[in-house]
Amino acid sequence: MNTKRYPWMGHAWTTPRDASPRVVSAAWCQRDPVRLARRIVHEFWVLDYSRSDCGRGRVGSARARWWPRPPRVAHLYRPGTPFWEDDTAVGGRVCEAWVLFSGGEHADLERFFSADRPFGRIVDPGGRIEARLYDIALTGHRRGEAGFWTAQAQLAALLDDLQGVRPHGPHEPFILPATRRADEQAEDLVEAARNFFRDHLAERITLARAAAHLGMSQSSFSHRYTALAGRPPMADLAAMRVEAATGLLLRGLKLDAIARQVGFCDAFHLSRAFRRHRGVAPSRFRQQFR
């Protein structure tokens, strides 16, 4: 992995050491072919990624079969696994990236291996792994040790992406879908909308404002949210406001003050919504807990 002649970015983190999984180092580089086959062993988990034609590789034994390393293919190695890289036949520069990390056994990575599968071979047609590796290496390059927790979060996102990898047969590579699964994207929609509601609870929120924040039409947002959350977005917002008002009631605040804090225009509208959701007036509810 000689990268001296061409741009290189990355970092090797030294602290902290108690996180698991933990990012150890990352690199994003290009280089001239080495012109010899190299044996490599790391004490950490390795996700080695071919951004260009990187020749071929073999794993576990010097007598093992050679595997081609075309663009957008990742190899996942357990700690202590010997592997060989041979780029003698590559005509141009070798562009690659990798991340070393510990704790892969805690991230369900053992499912990539079996008795006849000594390493995980992952095809990345959409470049999702490539993008994650770039982010980790760039964080290390720009921020060094201070960027550890950002890089750690980026590693977690990469490991989360790998949960979507599917094998295509016992001897076929794993495939990472080019886009995230629809159900994951749907969960993100509801979470993003609810986060927006919480952050702006005291303000006037309309369906149009929420939809615009999410970059959707009102109709599309309303229909998708209702199908996913089980009730319309504005009904969900009202329930969140009542829930927030409940906690403030127990602290003894006046209804007008509570109404302003949770987004109702006055105490009357708060009382009406509270009674509809709780089945009891706010004053009666407060008396029950005195």
Number of helices (H) and strands (E) in the chain: give both, helices first.
9, 12
**Length of the chain, in residues:** 290
- pLDDT tens digits, residue range 133-183? 999 999 999 999 999 999 999 999 999 999 878 776 656 788 887 666 555
Q: What is the CATH number of domain 182-288?
A: 1.10.10.60
Rounded Cα gap, residues 119 and 113, in angstroms: 6
- pLDDT tens digits, residue range 235-282? 999 999 998 998 888 888 889 999 999 999 999 999 999 998 888 898
Q: What is the CATH number of domain 8-175?
A: 2.60.120.280
Q: Using alpha carbons, list the distances in angstroms from residue 139 to 20, 109, 132, 142.
A: 19, 24, 11, 5
Cβ-based burial of 47 (10 A; exposed 0-12, middle 13-18, buried ≥19) = buried
**For the chain, what is the mean pLDDT?**
88
Mean pLDDT of 49-59: 94
pTM of the model: 0.62
Residues of the chain with CATH 1.10.10.60: 182-288
Q: Using alpha carbons, list the distances in angstroms from residue 65 to 57, 59, 99, 123, 248.
A: 8, 8, 24, 18, 67
Residues of the chain with CATH 2.60.120.280: 8-175
